[in-house]
Amino acid sequence: MADTAQFTSQIQNGYTFKGESLKLGVAMLDGQVVPGCDIRIPLRTMNRHGLIAGATGTGKTKTLQVIAEALSDASIPVLLLDIKGDLSGIAAPGAENDKIRERYQLLQETYSPAAYPVELLSLSKEKGVRLRATVAEFGPVLLAKVLELNDTQEGFVAMLFKYCDDKGLPILDLKDLSKILQYAGNEGKAEIEKEYGKISTTSTGTILRKVIELQQQGADHFFGETSFDVNDLMHISSDGRGMINILRVTDMQDRPKLFSTFMLQMLAEMYATLPEEGDLDKPKLVLFIDEAHLIFKEASKVLLQQIETMVKLIRSKGVGVFFCTQNPQDVPAPVLSQLGLKVQHALRAFTAGDRKDIKQTAENYPESDFYKTEDLLTQLGIGEALVTLLNEKGVPTPLAHTYLVSPRSRMDILSEVELDALVANSRLTAKYNQDIDRESAYEILASRLEQTAAPAAGSQPAGGPARTAAPKPAKAEQSWVEQALNSSAGKQVQRSIVRTLFGVIQKMFK
């Protein structure tokens, strides 16, 4: 029998903090909850990232839900990537039952059902506020990483962006990108080569095929306007709670490249947009990625490197990233080493490989005088987890077998009627759910080629029948936007903006 007094002293010393904190649960010893041994997370360390892991059915998603609720109560906005579609219930109050009453009695807490302020977001045609970004916002460097281009192809893409910048050809969606690639390999090849250098037809064909591959995963729904402003993720509700943004990506499981593309773009946009903050008393935003293995499963080596880089850098912007997955080994070691908070639910030992993973997982946690970590990992009950985190000085806390708080919101999904009402009442729907397809590279180049083809159609071979020459098409009246863009001042502004964007992204990936 372990020394309860010694255990209590260690836990209280390890999990008592000066600043604001949230309660995750109460520590257990020998299978029993120990009163007074609260396990708390200091808010100022929530930008040090974290991991929530465990086998299916052990309560990972509910733990994610508990932390999201506590952050919202502390006026910290949250973004949840909902892969399974079971997080929408946060917008509705929970219901008390015998199991919850028993749990809260052991926790010495009072259960108070609560609904939380929620925005539903979507990358596709699912219900929610549409998230989009333009190709131009990606820039040539980031786009090349997404398309897995080699150095030669990356240089060619950068050259095309420069050409479009100089000629006033906005690249907003994949239709624009495909058109400029086709134009560079055919009608416009001589013109572009004259000013910008040799063009390889092989490169244009290869890049175009990679763009088509991305389109087949539904990327046309993501690339375009209106671009989503990451600052809209950091809204505080009228009652002072942080908004919980739920990105519904239940249809992304068979489209890992699109999912990874969105993740990388969003982190890059946050890094480029948000000011440097250092260590705040509490983070500006916390991002939770459920079923995180989907990001890493199909990601290329280059993409993994960029995600690792962004996870390292984004902390100083006041943003925390939490990965939720079945096995800690799903997360690459360089990323795993950046995660300060670890909440480990039960693992199952069905095979020799499982036992090896469990042993390796146990070695990732601090040594304990009170637990045999390797054995305990397979004995944890539902709603229990091993917890360790960084204290306010950055020192790991003692390992604690924790009896977890349960969510106060609904532990189930919303009905279709409730989802419709949530989207209809959103403050962002009107801003982002309008389809906009303004004149850009595709339309401008198509018009140019049409005008070039018209005189050729009116010409005739020598000795042929006389024909009346087709009148030259009248120049279409330009809109005030196009006039501004095509003016010398407008082009100078465009070039300045793009050069700034290139510089930010290039610095980001050095």
- In this prediction, residues 252-272 reach a mean pLDDT of 75
Do 350 and 488 belong together in one domain? no
Q: Which residues pair with 133 in a beta bridge?
A: 223
Angle CA 490–495–500, to nearest 5: 130
Q: What is the dihedral of CA 290, 292, 297, 298, to 10 degrees?
A: 70
Please report, as a single letter, which amino acid is at residue 4. Answer: T
Exposure b/e, 334-351, CB count within 10 A at least 16 = b? ebbebbbbbbbbbbbbee
Residue 440 near residue 172 (C-beta atoms within 8 A):
yes
Pick the most confident of 267-271, 357-361, 370-374: 370-374
Do 57 and 161 belong together in one domain? no
Which residue would you say has higher pLDDT here, 501 or 302? 302
Do 173 and 311 belong together in one domain? no
If pLDDT is split at 50, 70 and 90, which confidence band does 495 have? very low
Least confident of 121-135, 233-247, 258-272, 372-386: 258-272
Q: Has residue 274 been placed in a domain?
A: yes
pLDDT of residue 304: 78
pLDDT digits 0-9 by tens, 437-470:
889 999 999 888 888 776 655 555 554 444 444 4
Do 489 and 356 belong together in one domain? no
Q: Has residue 139 been placed in a domain?
A: yes
Do 254 and 402 belong together in one domain? yes
* Angle formed by the axes of helices 151-167 and 135-147, nearest 10°: 170
Give Rg (Cα) of the chain: 27
pLDDT digits 0-9 by tens, 310-352:
888 889 999 999 999 988 888 888 888 889 999 999 998 888 8
Give the CATH number of the domain where residue 267 resides. Answer: 3.40.50.300
If pLDDT is split at 50, 70 and 90, which confidence band does 256 have? low
Q: Has residue 471 been placed in a domain?
A: no
Distance CA 254, CA 132 (A): 20
If pLDDT is split at 50, 70 and 90, which confidence band does 482 have? low
Q: Has residue 390 been placed in a domain?
A: yes
- Domain end, chosen from 368, 396, 414, is at 414
Residue 119 near residue 428 (C-beta atoms within 8 A):
yes
Do 191 and 281 belong together in one domain? no
Distance CA 223, CA 129 (A): 14
Burial class (CB in 10 A: 0-12, 13-18, 19+), 277: middle
- Domain end, chosen from 414, 440, 470, is at 414
If pLDDT is split at 50, 70 and 90, which confidence band does 166 have? very high
- Closest residue by Cα to residue 167 from 148, 194, 143, 147: 194
pLDDT of residue 509: 43
Owning domain of residue 126: 4-132+232-414
Do 94 and 41 belong together in one domain? yes
Q: Has residue 430 been placed in a domain?
A: no
Structural domain total, the chain: 2
What percentage of the chain carries pLDDT values higher than 90? 51
**Computed from CA positions of residues 231, 234, 237, 238, in that sequence, does the dihedral angle turn out positive or negative?**
negative
Distance CA 178, CA 75 (A): 43
pLDDT of residue 457: 58
Do 207 and 291 belong together in one domain? no
- Domain end, chosen from 363, 390, 414, is at 414
Give Cβ neighbours of residue 460 (< 8 Å, ≥ 6 apart).
Answer: 466, 467
* Angle formed by the axes of helices 189-196 and 151-167, nearest 10°: 100
pLDDT digits 0-9 by tens, 84-137:
888 999 999 999 999 999 999 999 999 999 999 999 998 877 788 988 889 998
What is the value of pTM for the model shown? 0.81
pLDDT of residue 165: 93
Q: Which residues pair with 93 in a beta bridge?
A: 409
Q: Has residue 378 been placed in a domain?
A: yes
Distance CA 136, CA 157 (A): 11
pLDDT of residue 11: 96
- Closest residue by Cα to residue 400 from 23, 22, 2, 25: 25
pLDDT of residue 471: 45
Q: Has residue 440 been placed in a domain?
A: no
Angle CA 163–168–174, to nearest 5: 75
Do 19 and 94 belong together in one domain? yes
pLDDT digits 0-9 by tens, 288-308:
988 887 777 766 676 677 778
Do 328 and 373 belong together in one domain? yes
What percentage of the chain carries pLDDT values higher than 70? 86
Do 121 and 249 belong together in one domain? yes
Do 367 and 334 belong together in one domain? yes
Distance CA 491, CA 169 (A): 10
Q: Has residue 434 been placed in a domain?
A: no
pLDDT digits 0-9 by tens, 384-439:
999 999 999 989 999 999 999 999 999 999 999 999 999 999 989 888 988 788 89
